[in-house]
């Protein structure tokens, strides 16, 4: 005759749930207590190590005292020229793609931005 350990639970809708607990969850395995104690000790020492490591790490604001050299900013004209070149490059790629698909002839001009 087999003995089963069951847990029975009801919910708000009146449904009865019967759960069978397997033997491996009812009986501790060999050295389970020692293995879990060793696991928790390792985790505690790992946390202590990272706390110590974080305490010894220099903070982000404690870098060299030299002022950072700001990057030169583009003028409006330089930015507009860069954007025009980028857009014209896009238009040429689009034309090449349409030519490869056969939707446009190679001799048709591309309306570039000036």
pLDDT digits (tens, 9 = 90+) for 77-98: 898 999 999 999 999 999 999 9
The rounded percent of the chain whose pLDDT value lies above 90 is 39
Asked if 77 and 48 touch (Cβ cutoff 8 Å), the reply is no
| Residue 6 pLDDT > 90 | no
Single out the residue of 90, 86, 91, 88 nearest to residue 74, CA to CA: 86
| Residue 36 pLDDT > 80 | yes
Question: Which of the two residues, 59 and 14, has the higher pLDDT score?
Answer: 14
SS3 of residue 18 by DSSP: strand
Q: What's the confidence (pLDDT) of residue 67?
A: 66
Q: What's the confidence (pLDDT) of residue 81?
A: 92
Single out the residue of 38, 4, 3 nearest to residue 21, CA to CA: 4
pLDDT digits (tens, 9 = 90+) for 50-63: 999 998 887 665 55
Average of per-residue pLDDT across 18-35: 84
Residue 84: count other Cβ atoms within 10 Å of its Cβ.
13
Core vs surface per residue 29-68: b (16+ CB within 10 A) or e: eeeeeeeeeeeeeeeeeeeeeeeeeeeeeeeeeeeeeeee
The pLDDT confidence band at residue 113, using thresholds 50, 70 and 90, is confident
| Residue 19 pLDDT > 60 | yes
Q: Which 8-state DSSP code applies to residue 27?
A: S
């Amino acid at each position: 005759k087999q003995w089963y350990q069951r847990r029975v639970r009801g919910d708000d809708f009146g449904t009865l749930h019967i759960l069978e607990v397997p033997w491996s969850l009812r009986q501790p395995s060999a050295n389970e207590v020692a293995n879990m104690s060793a696991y928790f000790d390792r985790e505690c020492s790992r946390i202590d190590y990272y706390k110590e490591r974080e305490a010894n790490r220099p903070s982000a604001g404690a870098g060299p005292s030299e002022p950072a050299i700001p990057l030169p900013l583009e003028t409006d004209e330089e930015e507009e020229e860069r954007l025009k070149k980028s857009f014209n490059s896009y238009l040429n790629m689009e034309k090449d793609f349409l030519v490869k698909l056969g939707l446009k002839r190679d001799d048709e001009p591309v309306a570039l931005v000036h």
